[in-house]
């Protein structure tokens, strides 16, 4: 083949190809333009903490409680109980009796000497005891018992006719108190006025005597 014939043909083909390329670039610029970079992915940033707001503190580390060792309570020795000796025989105190007419502070609060009985209207349900207050005197050495020493004037005290009454010698033949009725007491006192027998008494809510017990004297 003749080389000189081929050269003009090759050059014509190359020129045609180049013209085609240039024509494509003019019609669609995008084809010739370099590929634009893809837009970067939009990332939403977390809003910044406002000024003055501090991040929450980290949780404190767990603290293991320290257990204090048990302390034994000191044992306090009890002092030994004082030794007690056998009680001595009780002896009367000087204040237990009077050797002179008793004063107001010496008067026995719940005993009196009975002298007489005054009957009242039966509708009252009571009788009057004529009595004298006093205190126990000191017993002489040659006597069997102490006397009851009266003081002040005689007074009257109401006795309920349903009262609990006990008597001993000489009203009844016994050294121990025996239950008797109020009428039996009235009869004996009428037969033996001004005897001065000593009685212990208790008063009820109405102010009248509801319990009367004779005190035995030898």
- pLDDT digits over 139-184, tens only? 888 877 889 999 999 999 999 999 999 999 999 999 999 999 999 9
Asked whether the beta carbons of 143 and 180 are under 8 A apart, the reply is: no
The mean per-residue pLDDT over the stretch 125-138 comes to 96
Decide if 33 is inside a domain: no
Decide if 186 is inside a domain: yes
Decide if 25 is inside a domain: no
**Domain range for 196:** 95-214
Decide if 73 is inside a domain: no
Number of domains in the chain: 1
Decide if 18 is inside a domain: no
Report the alpha-carbon distance of residue 158 to residue 210 in Å, rounded.
9
Asked whether the beta carbons of 135 and 107 are under 8 A apart, the reply is: yes
Decide if 27 is inside a domain: no
- Quick one: pLDDT at residue 154? 96
Decide if 79 is inside a domain: no
Whole-model pTM: value is: 0.56
Of residues 107 and 36, the one with the higher pLDDT is: 107
Decide if 5 is inside a domain: no
């Amino acid at each position: 083949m003749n080389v000189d014939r081929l050269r003009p043909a090759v050059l014509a083909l190359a020129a045609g190809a180049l013209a085609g390329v240039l024509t494509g670039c003019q019609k669609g610029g995008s084809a010739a333009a370099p590929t634009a970079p893809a837009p970067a992915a939009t990332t939403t940033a977390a809003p910044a903490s406002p000024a003055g707001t501090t991040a929450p503190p980290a949780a404190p580390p767990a603290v293991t409680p320290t257990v204090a060792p048990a302390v034994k309570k000191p044992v306090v020795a009890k002092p030994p109980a004082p030794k007690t000796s056998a009680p001595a025989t009780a002896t009367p105190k000087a204040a237990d009796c009077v050797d002179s007419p008793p004063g107001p502070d010496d008067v026995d609060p719940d005993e009196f000497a009975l002298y007489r009985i005054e009957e009242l209207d039966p509708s009252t349900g009571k009788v009057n005891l004529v009595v004298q207050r006093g205190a126990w005197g000191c017993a002489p050495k040659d006597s069997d018992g102490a006397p009851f020493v009266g003081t002040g004037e005689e007074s009257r005290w109401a006795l309920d006719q349903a009262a609990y009454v006990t008597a001993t010698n000489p009203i009844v033949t016994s050294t121990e108190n025996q239950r008797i009725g109020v009428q039996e007491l009235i009869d004996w006192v009428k037969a033996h006025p001004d005897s001065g027998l000593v009685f212990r008494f208790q008063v009820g809510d109405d102010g009248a005597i509801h319990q009367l017990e004779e005190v035995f004297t030898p």
